[in-house]
Amino acid sequence: MSNETEFARARAVIPGGVNSPVRAYRSVGGTPRFLVSARGAYVTDVEGREYIDLIGSWGPALLGHAHPDVVAAVQDAASRGLSFGATTPGEAELAELLRERTTVRGTRLFDSIRLVSTGTEATMTAVRLARGATGRDIVLKFAGHYHGHSDGLLAESGSGVATLGLPGSAGVPADVAALTIVLPYNDLAAIEAAFAAHPGRIAAIITEAAGANAGVLVPDDGFNRALSDLAHREGALLILDEVLTGFRVGPAGWWGLEAERADGEMWKPDLVTFGKIVGGGLPLAAVAGRRDVMELLAPLGPVYQAGTLSGNPLAVAAGLATLRGADADAYARIDRSAAILSAAVEEAFASAGLAVTVSRAGSLFSLAFRDRAVRTYDDAKDQDAWRYPAFFTTLLEAGVSLPPSVFEAWFLSAAHTDLELDRITAALPAAVRAAAR
Q: Which residues are catalytic?
A: 146, 241, 276
3-state helix, strand, coil in the chain (%, to 5): 40, 15, 40
Dihedral of alpha carbons 139, 140, 143, 146, sign: negative
Number of residues in contact with ligand PLP, rule: CB under 6 A? Answer: 16
Residues 47-76 that bind ligand PLP (CB under 6 A): 58
Q: How far is the CB of 145 from ligand PLP (least distance, A)?
A: 7
Q: How far is the CB of 347 from ligand PLP (least distance, A)?
A: 28
The residues, any chain, with a CB within 8 Å of residue 294's CB and separated by 6 or more, are 110, 111, 112, 113, 114, 129, 271, 287, 288
Q: Say if residue 89 is preceded by a cis peptide, omega within 30 of 0.
A: no
Which of 27, 88, 120, 337 forms a contact with ligand PLP (CB under 6 A)? Answer: 120
Rounded to whole angstroms, how far apart are CA atoms 341 and 420? 10
Which of 40, 148, 253, 362 forms a contact with ligand PLP (CB under 6 A)? Answer: 148
Residues 166-185 that bind ligand PLP (CB under 6 A): none
Which of 73, 140, 244, 338 forms a contact with ligand PLP (CB under 6 A)? Answer: 244
Q: 145: closest CA among 155, 158, 154?
A: 158
Name the one range near ligand PLP by CB under 6 A: 140-148, 174-182, 301-309, 347-355: 140-148
283 or 313: whose CB is closer to ligand PLP?
A: 283
Q: Does 147 bind ligand PLP (CB under 6 A)?
A: yes
Q: How far is the CB of 409 from ligand PLP (least distance, A)?
A: 9
Name the one range near ligand PLP by CB under 6 A: 44-52, 113-121, 217-225, 291-299: 113-121
The residues, any chain, with a CB within 8 Å of residue 358's CB and separated by 6 or more, are 342, 345, 346, 365, 366, 367, 368
146 or 349: whose CB is closer to ligand PLP?
A: 146
Collapse the DSSP code of 404 into the 3-class scheme (helix H, G, I; strand E, B; otherwise coil) and give the result. Answer: coil
User: From residue 292 to residue 331, what is the string marking binding to ligand PLP with x (rule CB under 6 A)?
Assistant: ----------------------------------------
Rounded to whole angstroms, how far apart are CA atoms 88 and 313? 7
Rounded to whole angstroms, how far apart are CA atoms 313 and 103? 25
Q: Does 255 bind ligand PLP (CB under 6 A)?
A: no
Name the one range near ligand PLP by CB under 6 A: 43-51, 67-75, 240-248, 350-358: 240-248
Which of 118, 157, 366, 393 forms a contact with ligand PLP (CB under 6 A)? Answer: 118
Rounded to whole angstroms, how far apart are CA atoms 298 and 290? 15
* Chain-centre distance for alpha carbon 271: 17
Q: Does 162 bind ligand PLP (CB under 6 A)?
A: no
Beta-sheet pairing, 103-104 with 107-108: antiparallel
Name the one range near ligand PLP by CB under 6 A: 76-84, 96-104, 143-151, 231-239: 143-151
User: From residue 194 to residue 223, what is the string marking binding to ligand PLP with x (rule CB under 6 A)?
Assistant: --------------x----x----------
* Chain-centre distance for alpha carbon 250: 14
195 or 274: whose CB is closer to ligand PLP?
A: 274
Which of 32, 40, 90, 119 forms a contact with ligand PLP (CB under 6 A)? Answer: 119
Buried b (16+ CB within 10 A) or exposed e, 90-102: bbeebbeebbebb
Number of residues that this document lists for the chain: 437
What are the residues binding ligand PLP (CB under 6 A)? 58, 118-120, 123, 146-148, 159, 208, 213, 241, 243-244, 275, 285
